[in-house]
A and B are shown apart, each in its own frame.
Chain A
Amino acid sequence: MVETLGIYRRLVGSRIRSQLQYRLSFALTVTGNLLLSGLDFAAILVLFGQVDALGDWTVGEVALLYGISCVSFALTDLAVGQLDQLPRMIREGEFDQILVRPLGSLLQVICADVALRHLGRLTQGAVVLLVAVAYVDVTWTASRIAMLLVAIVAGAAIFAGIWVAFSSIAFWLIDSQEVCNAFTYGGNYTAQYPVNIYGRWLRRLVLFVVPVAFVSYFPALYVLDKPDPLGLPEALQFASPAVALITGAAAWLVWRTAVRRYRSVGS
């Protein structure tokens, strides 16, 4: 395990170094990413210029949802976002090369690179989160702060599981990238808004299938001490870590099955 981390550090370290080489270019890229991902929040602000609440959530409360979702997602993007390259790696034979090395295939794909520009998303998400934390009418007890942190970590794990699972589609379908994007980036977008504004089918989706409701919605209910507009059991508000574990396990299974199939069928 320690060795694995060491390898990760080295693989990724050189990528990071090469990206930081051109300071100005790097700064521009990160800023661009910050602004681009920040557009989502700009949209929220515009909406709140017309109303005081969306689905009974005020602007500060929605900002909290947004902040948790963005920070979690940005962390995941930095950690496993490299999976977006999987279709290309398969197409160009790089994945075969990975299979010939004495390391797990998923680890190698993830470590192949890291796109530091997502620090932009992380920054704007963190800023919104901090502002929301200051803005909402909440007494910040230790348990609430802990819930916030747990939400971010578990949220990142949930997003990572979703990312790994849907990236595996690349082993079945070519040109599958957009489908995966719908669930990763789409998942992030979904978690920025309160789940109760969605139609029933979508609510079910984000609770049971692509469980992004557990990234921001449920932890926020706890933190804000807010009665659930959906009237779901309060216990769910503590379920994020469990959901993260389940999602991770499911993702791992999907990946392994996908790779096994790839090795049977070729490319």
Chain B
Amino acid sequence: MARLAHRRSTLPKRGLVIELDGVEKTFTLRVKSGRVRRERREVRAVDGISFRVDPGELIGYVGPNGAGKSTTVKMLTGILVPSAGRISVAGLDPSRQRIKLARRIGVVFGQRVQLWWDLPLRDSFELLRHIYRVPENRWRANFDRFTEVLELGPFLETPVRQLSLGQRMRGELTAAMLHDPEILFLDEPTIGLDVVAKARVREFLAEVNRDQGVTVLLTTHDLADIERLSSRLLIIDHGRVIHDGTIERLIADYGEERTLVVDLQEPAEPLEVDGARVVRVEGPRQWLRFRRDELTAARLAAAVAERAPLVDLTVEEPDIEDVVRRIYAEG
């Protein structure tokens, strides 16, 4: 993939580019309780979130399903109005200055399409040029650049509905960037993509952030997205931020445990090995949990092999659900 040429970054004036202060979002659900009656239940999707983002940062916004990630993004982009708290994006209030803000941000929803379904990609881009009032030469420069970087050439004339998911996502990314937004919001952009496509998306985001200084906020529940892109990580669960720091910090603090999954030649009693404990047994397969800082996988595997004949093994890293559960339990 060709490198994006270095450009003068589109930094806003000094100061924070995203700021949330005590933001809450409560939904009132009407739930059926019994045949006819409906109860009103209040759901706190976002329960007091505060954080600040400097221009040029690349933030991962991570959490399990239902944690409040999408709700936060919707509030940041002006779709939803917060129940309480203050939000400032690019110096604007998204709930009051929606249209003004829309010109300065790009948004990509992973599971939805912003491009026009039966128009060819190129036409969608042209339409966006007019909607965002992008000067012709600027638009053309961006168009050429992204077409090359994301290799859109072969399917520029194809109607969006005929594109594969990976192609569509590349089109979406381009569409979101054509008007030189200061901030890019992405809600689960890699969901459903194959490994190659995911890598492409991540690379694109990294380059855009590094070379153009675009602030990127990306929600995902796939930790691998953040690992590749590094930088700062916010973990959200039950509507609250439970960790705000780098990924190394996170792993260091909470991700110390890994799991060695061994397939023995035949079922056996739970193995007793120093430094590891068996957390699960299914026939000849056993799951051994061990601490990263105490034991290496290789040493543990050797120790297991001494006790029983080993047919196969794998190492499981903590996934975000485990880490979050751990954090939440300790938090």
Contact = CB atoms under 8 A, between A and B. Distances in A.
Contacts of B28: 265
Indicate the member of A92, A260, A266 with the most B CB atoms within 10 Å. A266
Interface stretch (B3-11, B55-63, B128-136, B142-150): B128-136
B119 interface: yes
Contact of A100 (B83, B107, B123): B107
A7 B112 contact: no
Indicate the member of B28, B98, B105, B116 with the most A CB atoms within 10 Å. B98
B123 A265 contact: no
Contacts of B98: 99
B305 to A, nearest CB: 52
Nearest to A102: B102
Contact of A18 (B118, B132, B133): B118
Contacts of B290: none
A94 interface: yes
A104 interface: yes
Contact of B80 (A18, A104, A266): A266
B207 interface: no
A94 B100 CA distance: 20
Given A18-B118, A93-B109, A3 B130 contact: yes
B81 A102 contact: no
A101 B102 contact: yes
A14 interface: yes
Contacts of A92: 112
A3 B133 contact: yes
A50 interface: no
Nearest to B132: A102
A93 to B, nearest CB: 5
A14 B119 contact: yes
A264 B28 CA distance: 11
B27 A96 contact: no
A97 B172 CA distance: 12
B78 interface: yes
Given A104-B99, A263-B95, A265-B27, A99 B79 contact: yes
A1 B109 CA distance: 29
A93 B111 CA distance: 9
A255 to B, nearest CB: 15
B130 A100 contact: no
Contacts of B95: 263
Interface in B294-318: none
Interface residues of B, number: 33
A233 interface: no
Interface in B56-72: 71
Nearest to B119: A14
A49 interface: no
Contact of A97 (B71, B78, B112, B130): B112
Contacts of B102: 100-102
B230 interface: no
B202 interface: no
Contacts of A11: 116, 127
B167 interface: no
Interface in A95-138: 96-97, 99-104
Contact of A103 (B99, B105, B116, B123): B99
B193 to A, nearest CB: 19
A113 to B, nearest CB: 10
A10 B130 contact: yes
B103 interface: yes
A115 to B, nearest CB: 14
Contact of B131 (A18, A96, A102): A102
B80 A10 contact: no
A29 B259 CA distance: 63
Contacts of B131: 7, 101-103
A10 B27 contact: no
Nearest to B95: A263
Contacts of B77: 99-100
B127 A99 contact: no
Contacts of A100: 77-79, 102, 105, 107, 114
A60 to B, nearest CB: 45
Interface in A1-58: 3, 6-7, 10-11, 14, 18
A14 B80 CA distance: 31
A33 B326 CA distance: 62
B321 interface: no
B27 A6 contact: no
B79 A263 contact: yes
B126 interface: yes
Interface of A: 3, 6-7, 10-11, 14, 18, 92-94, 96-97, 99-104, 260, 263-266
Given A7-B130, A99-B77, A100-B102, 19 more contacts: A7-B131, A14-B116, A92-B112, A93-B111, A93-B112, A97-B109, A99-B78, A99-B98, A100-B105, A100-B107, A101-B102, A102-B131, A102-B133, A263-B80, A263-B81, A264-B81, A264-B83, A266-B27, A266-B80
Leading 3 A-B pairs by shortest Cβ distance: A102-B102, A100-B107, A102-B103
